[in-house]
Chain A
Amino acid sequence: MARYNETEFLICLAASLMEDGATAFIGTGIPMLAAALAKKTHAPNLVAVFEFGGTGASLERLPLAVGESRTFHKAVAASGICDIMETAQRGFIEYGFLGAAQIDMYGNLNTTIIGPYWPPKVRLPGSGGANDVGSHCWKNIIIVRQHDTRRFVPKVDFLTTPGYLTGPGAREKAGLPPNTGPYRVVTSLALLDFEPESKRMRLIGLNPNVTVEQVKQNTGFELLVADHLITNPEPTDEQLRILREEVDPDHYYI
């Protein structure tokens, strides 16, 4: 039996991308667990920011929603959504964490609809704060649990949240703040970044027991591959213990 499940692996990988002392927009799901784990391990001074008003929560207990009590438990400030989003728009928030139903090679994300806009085949929740996080944070980390061709598509049905749009310079041309955009993509198969010149998605790390061919086969667009690939580290026993016993003891996610 495996020592850990896929969700646990993703949480640990996402946590490893969080720097001590950085500011990070934390959304529902894996980012919350990753932030809590990072704070309990290598990044105790990570400043978790929640869109409805919490800044710097302790994350001793796992929030279930982006506005609830635990998002500002022992925080330094409890304000409101305009203040938080304006803070991001001013350039204060380093990292944003995003999920998506579909993603393309430029890191554009869809969380709005599948099919035509009206009437849609599947109505998804909509942008929520995702478009704002994707517009204003310096570096966005995208977490896609299932890496397959249904999610990694040549063209998203609806571009909810901006990645690099149509390629180099497109964000700036559209009026988005310069030098922002997608930074990493964490998936069930791999770790990916965006090649600096073309802004196209690039494979940089493989999860254990995954091959390059497997990642390519499960990606619906032509994937760039870095010259030197790393193998993403497996969770340590200590990370798993903290995750299971302290971060999510009620097993909401893991």
Chain B
Amino acid sequence: MNILESGIGELFQPPDPDGFREWVHKHKNTRMVSKVMSEQEAIARLVKDGDYIGTELYGTVRGPMSLIRELVRQGKKHLRVAGQGIHEIDLLLAADMVDALDITYIGWEVYGISHILRRAVESGRVKTTEWSNAAISWRFKAAAMGVPFIPVRSMLGTDTLKYSAAKVVEDPWTGKPICLLPALYLDVGFIHVHQADEFGNCRIEGISGFAFELARASKTLIVSTEEIVPTEEIRRYPERTILPYYLVDAVVLAKYGSHPGEMCYRYWRDEEHLLQFYKDSADPEKTRAYLDKWVYGCKNHDDYIEKVGIERLKQLEKMIGGR
């Protein structure tokens, strides 16, 4: 195949479909066994220093925030991260746990750019390789398909491609240039869902973001859930299972697990908390104080929830839109 252009960005996680197949064959349990455990146990057992990790969706919408706070608490180091996020990636960067970012968007939408990202990248501490949102999602899709790359028509002609690790080749059929994205296989994926059973059969309500693809692209998948439901309930509506049990390695019960982000149909985002965090994040000392109070200063998710206060959470439940 004729290679027309190669991105000069570093490929932080080279695709290895055969290695992934081996992993799936050896490690994924085909039997339905209970995987319910605490967030401390899941992170301690399943995440190692140096892992390549990814989170879904992002830290103001259905983000796996309770898992990320525990990851920060346990201080895992030298992580490489698929960066399509907001609050969750800010926390990892602020705690200085990240060496490399496959970045597409890290920012605060209505509020503006991430102060923490700026400090991490402008200081040269964290390496970056560029992608687009679709590109990262399609890289997961390629991994989910079990193939080494996927052809797409994004990023062509731009510096986003130049500073990515994608390649442009001549389409063997039409002769036109086409972008090949390397599959992105995660060591560990993190997803927060509405409902799961004890085996890890999961449901998501509302948009599914890139949960489907990320789950299938992960060697190890840690799921947190608002609610654990009986398997009979799952079996009554199998069409609603977006992640079947065999993808999942840990099921962590975390009611309000997406706080301060929202959980579609359940609770609205905690605007005061997010805005205060965003303002504080402009100052490294205040950022540290935030981590001390809301992450290191909480033993676990239950402790965090107690600190937020059940009254506040009930208010947020009232503020979310219905169907």
Q: Which residues of A contact B (CB under 8 A)?
A: 28-29, 50-54, 61, 64-73, 78-82, 85, 89, 108, 112, 117-132, 135-136, 158-162, 165, 170-171, 173-177, 252-253
User: Which of these, B121, B176, B269, contacts A123 with CB under 8 Å?
Assistant: B121
* Residues 128-175 of B contacting A (Cβ, < 8 Å): 130-135, 137-138, 141, 152-160, 163, 168
Complex interface: stretch among B27-35, B73-81, B186-194, B203-211: B203-211
Q: Are A121 and B153 in contact (CB under 8 A)?
A: no
Task: Say whether, besides A67-B61, A120-B122, A160 and B160 are in contact (CB < 8 Å).
Answer: yes
* Residues 17-42 of B contacting A (Cβ, < 8 Å): none
Task: Say whether, besides A28-B109, A28-B110, A80-B212, A67 and B58 are in contact (CB < 8 Å).
Answer: yes
What are 6 A-B residue pairs whose CB atoms fall within 8 Å in the complex? A53-B208, A69-B320, A81-B209, A119-B121, A128-B104, A159-B159
Q: Are A85 and B265 in contact (CB under 8 A)?
A: no
CA distance A170 to B114 in the complex (A): 33
Task: Point out the residues of chain A lying under 8 angstroms from B176, CB to CB.
Answer: 175
Q: Are A127 and B131 in contact (CB under 8 A)?
A: yes
CA distance A176 to B157 in the complex (A): 8
Beta-carbon nearest neighbor of B265 in chain A:
A69
Q: Are B122 and A85 in contact (CB under 8 A)?
A: no
Q: Are A69 and B262 in contact (CB under 8 A)?
A: yes
Task: Say whether, besides A126-B103, A175-B168, A121 and B122 are in contact (CB < 8 Å).
Answer: yes
Nearest CB of A to B41, in Å: 29
Interface of B is mostly: mixed
Nearest CB of B to A48, in Å: 13
Nearest CB of B to A201, in Å: 18
CA distance A123 to B121 in the complex (A): 7
Q: Are A175 and B156 in contact (CB under 8 A)?
A: yes
Nearest CB of B to A145, in Å: 13
| B264 contacts the other chain (CB 8 A) | yes
Q: Are B156 and A176 in contact (CB under 8 A)?
A: yes
Q: Are A126 and B156 in contact (CB under 8 A)?
A: no
Interface of A is mostly: loop
| B98 contacts the other chain (CB 8 A) | no
User: Which of these, A53, A130, A174, contacts B132 with CB under 8 Å?
Assistant: A130
Task: Point out the residues of chain A lying under 8 angstroms from B212, CB to CB.
Answer: 80, 82
* Residues 40-87 of B contacting A (Cβ, < 8 Å): 57-58, 60-62, 83-84
Q: Are A52 and B209 in contact (CB under 8 A)?
A: yes
Beta-carbon nearest neighbor of A83 in chain B:
B208
Beta-carbon nearest neighbor of B9 in chain A:
A117
Report the 5 A-B pairs with minimum CB-CB distance, sorted nearest first: A53-B207, A125-B107, A174-B157, A128-B105, A175-B177
Q: Are A64 and B57 in contact (CB under 8 A)?
A: no
Task: Say whether, besides A123-B121, A125-B105, A127-B132, A165 and B210 are in contact (CB < 8 Å).
Answer: no
Task: Point out the residues of chain B lying under 8 angstroms from A52, CB to CB.
Answer: 57, 61, 207, 209-210
Task: Point out the residues of chain B lying under 8 angstroms from A124, CB to CB.
Answer: 107, 113
Task: Point out the residues of chain A lying under 8 angstroms from B156, CB to CB.
Answer: 135, 162, 174-176
| B309 contacts the other chain (CB 8 A) | no
Task: Point out the residues of chain A lying under 8 angstroms from B118, CB to CB.
Answer: 122-123
Nearest CB of A to B179, in Å: 7
CA distance A67 to B261 in the complex (A): 11
User: Which of these, A53, A177, A253, contacts B153 with CB under 8 Å?
Assistant: A177
CA distance A65 to B60 in the complex (A): 8
CA distance A202 to B133 in the complex (A): 30
Q: Are B160 and A125 in contact (CB under 8 A)?
A: no
Task: Point out the residues of chain B lying under 8 angstroms from A122, CB to CB.
Answer: 118, 122
CA distance A128 to B105 in the complex (A): 4
Task: Point out the residues of chain A lying under 8 angstroms from B110, CB to CB.
Answer: 28-29, 64-65, 252-253
Task: Point out the residues of chain A lying under 8 angstroms from B179, CB to CB.
Answer: 175
Nearest CB of A to B248, in Å: 18
Beta-carbon nearest neighbor of B124 in chain A:
A119
CA distance A53 to B209 in the complex (A): 6
Q: Are B107 and A81 in contact (CB under 8 A)?
A: no
Nearest CB of A to B238, in Å: 19
Nearest CB of A to B219, in Å: 20
CA distance A174 to B156 in the complex (A): 6
Q: Are B109 and A64 in contact (CB under 8 A)?
A: yes
Beta-carbon nearest neighbor of B177 in chain A:
A175
Beta-carbon nearest neighbor of A68 in chain B:
B61
Q: Are A175 and B153 in contact (CB under 8 A)?
A: yes
Q: Are A135 and B154 in contact (CB under 8 A)?
A: yes
CA distance A104 to B91 in the complex (A): 35
Task: Point out the residues of chain A lying under 8 angstroms from B206, CB to CB.
Answer: 53, 69, 72, 78
Task: Say whether, besides A123-B117, A125-B113, A136 and B154 are in contact (CB < 8 Å).
Answer: yes
Q: Are A65 and B132 in contact (CB under 8 A)?
A: no
Q: Are A135 and B61 in contact (CB under 8 A)?
A: no
CA distance A126 to B247 in the complex (A): 31
User: Which of these, B114, B133, B158, B178, contacts A162 with CB under 8 Å?
Assistant: B158
Nearest CB of A to B320, in Å: 7
Q: Are A81 and B122 in contact (CB under 8 A)?
A: no
Beta-carbon nearest neighbor of A112 in chain B:
B130
Task: Say whether, besides A127-B160, A128-B132, A174-B177, A65 and B208 are in contact (CB < 8 Å).
Answer: no
Beta-carbon nearest neighbor of B136 in chain A:
A81
Task: Point out the residues of chain A lying under 8 angstroms from B321, CB to CB.
Answer: 61, 69-70, 73
| B213 contacts the other chain (CB 8 A) | yes
Task: Say whether, besides A64-B109, A67-B207, A85 and B177 are in contact (CB < 8 Å).
Answer: no
